[in-house]
Amino acid sequence: MTEKKNLIEIRNLTHRYGDVTAIDDINLDIHENEFFALLGPSGCGKTTLLRVLAGFETPDAGTVMLGNTDLISIPPNKRPINLMFQSYALFPHMNVGQNIAYGLEREKLGKNEIKTRVAEVLETVGLSDKSKSRPLQLSGGQRQRVALARAIIKRPKLLLLDEPLSALDRKVRAEMQIELKRLQHEVGITFVVVTHDQEEAMSMADRIAVIAKGKVEQVDFPVDLYERPKNRYVGGFIGDSNFFDGIATSTGIINEKLGPMPGNHYGRNITGPAHLLIRPEDLRVAQGDEHSISAKVQDVAFFGGASTIILTIDNHPTTILFSQPGSTSIQRGSQLQLTWDEQKAIVLPSDSPSESNN
């Protein structure tokens, strides 16, 4: 990846609602033309951050710069930023065309230009024939396209999307994921999407910021978030994971019950209490006298492309997930010796998520 230009620079941003700190000293750079995701559980502050960017909340402290402009002092209707609301917020008393034209009319553009651009954007979202329909006459997926069209027609520098897919059913959601990504490339606008759904974020975003309790835990490319989480919180939030507690050694950790477990520090040289994260697909059945742990098969589930085997280990508090491509011959109730690729097992520091923030 080449070094990209920053579109938005967020510095030391803090916002409280009464006693509740919704966002806590956040620093974040959003690049030009990227698809950026704010990912976290509900109540983590991601929506507040979005509302600060849109201008509906004035933060208690910190700055948000767009180029050389300080955004905080600019009211929402003057910002070159548009928001696609979670509820879509389509104006019920206007038809689709009027909804989409609303933003351009506020710019006092000529009737003909508005008409051309509305037609253009309707074409982009594939709703050219629905211009005269009322929002209530449309399906959920169509409404979302209208909301998107209305938000991109002003050609904002930044488009914010608040849980854009949550109101759609599963099948439409998968289509829209691809659609959103295509649109982002097509219109060349920076997208910032807020979501609690890690699969959604992983499949759409160029980069993801994992947020917990008002703090940014990690900002990274999806693959790096998965393969090299910085702490236990991110490791557990993204994808399936098996954790083992212990004391860090130079080659892994030592677990009280299971003994030495090799893993990769990724150059961080962690000491003291630590965790070892092993992804389900990095486990395999041991051959010969490799290092291994003994586990009992509790259940086997086949998902078409892969099988997930759920195991228990004596004296280990949680069940272990082990996935194999395709179907499996492993039987429920059998005893397995499992081993793993020590390069892929990740040693993580034993900090609480908020302390490990960098």
Residues lying near another protein in the complex (CB under 8 A) are found at 54-56, 75-78, 81-83, 85-87, 89-93, 102-103, 106-107, 134, 150, 154
**What span, in angstroms and rounded, lies between the C-alpha atoms of 63 and 79?**
15
Closest approach of another protein to the CB of residue 93, in Å? 5
3-state secondary structure 154-165: CCCCEEEEECCC
Single-letter code of the amino acid located at 23: I
Closer to another protein at the Cβ: 22 or 225?
22
Comparison of 100 and 204: residue with beta carbon closer to another protein: 100
Write the CA distances from 72 to 54, 173, 283, integer angstroms.
Answer: 9, 33, 49
Strand segments, DSSP code E, in 42-172 are 61-66, 69-70, 81-84, 158-162
Rounded distance between C-alpha atoms, residue 205 and residue 184, angstroms: 10
Please state the closest distance from residue 188 (CB atom) to another protein, in A: 20
Query: What is the Cα–Cα distance from 95 to 102, expressed in whole angstroms?
Result: 11
Q: Which is nearer to another protein, 55 or 280 (CB)?
A: 55
Of 140 and 262, which CB lies nearer to another protein in the complex structure?
140
CB of 56 to another protein, least distance (A): 6
Minimum distance from residue 41 beta carbon to another protein (Å):
22
Task: Report, in Å, the least distance between residue 80 CB and another protein.
Answer: 10
Are 53 and 47 contacting, i.e. CB atoms less than 8 angstroms apart? no
21 or 86: CB nearest another protein: 86
Report, in Å, the least distance between residue 108 CB and another protein. 10
Phi, psi (deg, nearest 5) at residue 146: -65, -45
* Pick 51 or 265: Cβ nearer another protein: 51
